[in-house]
């Protein structure tokens, strides 16, 4: 059930603790002194430590101090074993972070109840951390305003949980929660960046834009598609057919266009299925950018729903922020968008843009 380390210079007591706790299904390791106890705690990362206070140096307080200073053992709960119910000792142990005390001599029932209480508390904290992490990971599927509010709320709850319970969590759980917070903030930043880009494009469409010819647009397409595939672990699925063309388009907007199309293709296809990104001149005046997947595809009803141009407000309601970005880029540069799809056969999106020369 749990891995428990008992530290005491009384060999008879260690034998008794081992028998009683092993009978409850726990894995028990013992240490006859503070030095070996500190070393074993670092090696084993037990779920719980039982430690005598009165031992030759290092005594129980010194053992607890050493465990709390080591990041690998700092959050392992510790129960002191003491034969002297000295209030001064109790206060000192609490200040160092001891979770509880067992007064010698203790009964089997007292031992089991105290150990179970600590382990139950740890299990509750682990479940709560996992629940909050799951809540954060699922919050990105909501539409806005939930699209921003839900992950923000989840991040706030998770960070508050970490702040309040870090001293009771094992190091690996602290790392997992911290990683979840970091991942969540990165994803939230990405959402904010896309929202900002979408709004900027909408304003640019309204006022128009004059763009210079950008040579080597094919290199921008290849770089953007490969970056998306690499981050998704789908590099081997990506197929590119890219010509070195010139376009009248801001490279940042072209990069955003390719990123959204490739991201969508990856999201709607299984690993191992090919994704084609093609960029080539189809006439003297136009360049075709094609992104094709072999994924789930769209039903006629879903395809029809995508035909309406939509706007930023619809995107904020969960109707496809990526598609709004693609439409805005195409409209800004006088291009056209075409979507072809069949259920279970995949989707092909073609954006036609005026060639630079």
Q: Is residue 50 helix, strand or coil? A: strand
Architecture of domain 3-106: 3-Layer(aba) Sandwich (3.40)
CATH fold label, 217-354: Heat Shock Protein 90 (3.30.565)
- pLDDT at residue number 142: 47
- pLDDT at residue number 271: 92
Cis amide prior to 253 (ω within 30 degrees): no
CB neighbour list of residue 17: distance below 8 Å, 6 or more residues apart: 6, 8, 28, 30, 50, 111
pTM: 0.55
Q: Where in the chain is the domain with CATH 3.40.50.2300?
A: 3-106
Q: At what angle do helices 217-231 and 251-267 cross, to 10 degrees?
A: 40
The pLDDT tens digits along the chain (357 residues) read 789 999 999 899 999 999 999 999 999 999 999 999 999 998 888 988 999 888 888 988 888 888 888 877 877 888 888 876 655 655 555 555 566 778 888 889 888 888 888 888 777 777 777 777 676 666 655 444 445 666 777 777 778 877 777 766 766 677 777 877 877 787 777 777 877 887 788 777 777 665 666 678 889 999 999 999 999 999 999 999 998 888 888 888 999 999 999 998 998 899 999 999 999 988 667 899 999 999 888 887 777 766 655 544 444 444 467 888 888 888 888 888 898 988 888 999 999 988 865
- pLDDT at residue number 319: 44
Contact (Cβ atoms closer than 8 angstroms) between residue 73 and residue 53: no
Q: Where in the chain is the domain with CATH 3.30.565.10?
A: 217-354
- Give the integer Cα–Cα distance in Å for 33 and 10: 9
């Amino acid at each position: 059930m749990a891995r428990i380390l008992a530290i005491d210079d009384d060999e008879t007591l260690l034998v008794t603790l081992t028998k009683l706790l092993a009978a409850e299904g726990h894995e028990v390791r013992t240490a006859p002194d503070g030095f070996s106890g500190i070393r074993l705690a670092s090696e084993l990362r037990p779920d719980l430590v039982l430690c005598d206070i009165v031992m030759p140096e290092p005594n129980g307080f010194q053992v607890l101090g050493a465990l709390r200073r080591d990041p690998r053992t700092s959050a392992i709960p510790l129960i002191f074993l003491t034969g002297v119910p000295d209030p001064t000792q109790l206060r000192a142990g609490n200040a160092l972070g001891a979770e509880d005390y067992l007064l010698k001599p203790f009964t089997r029932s007292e031992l089991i109840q105290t150990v179970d209480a600590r382990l139950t508390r740890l299990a509750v904290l682990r479940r709560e951390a996992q629940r909050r992490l799951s809540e954060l990971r699922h919050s990105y599927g909501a539409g806005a305003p939930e699209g921003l509010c839900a992950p923000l709320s989840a991040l706030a709850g998770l960070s508050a949980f970490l702040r309040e319970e870090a001293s009771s969590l094992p190091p690996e759980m602290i790392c997992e929660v911290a990683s979840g917070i970091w991942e969540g903030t990165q994803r939230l930043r990405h959402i904010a960046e896309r929202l900002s880009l979408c709004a900027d494009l909408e304003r640019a469409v309204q006022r128009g834009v004059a763009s210079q010819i950008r040579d080597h647009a094919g290199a921008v397409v290849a770089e953007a598609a490969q970056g998306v595939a690499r981050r998704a672990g789908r590099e081997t699925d990506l197929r590119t057919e890219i010509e070195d063309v010139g376009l009248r388009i801001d490279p940042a907007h072209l990069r955003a266009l390719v990123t959204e199309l490739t991201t969508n293709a990856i999201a709607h296809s299984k690993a191992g299925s090919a994704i084609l990104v093609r960029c080539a001149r189809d006439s003297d005046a136009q360049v075709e950018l094609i992104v094709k997947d072999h994924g789930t595809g769209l039903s006629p009803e879903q395809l029809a729903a995508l035909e309406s141009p939509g706007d930023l407000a619809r995107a904020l309601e969960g109707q496809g922020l990526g598609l709004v970005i693609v439409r805005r880029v195409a409209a800004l540069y006088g291009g056209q968008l075409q979507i072809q799809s069949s259920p279970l056969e995949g989707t092909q999106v073609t954006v036609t843009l005026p060639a630079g020369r």
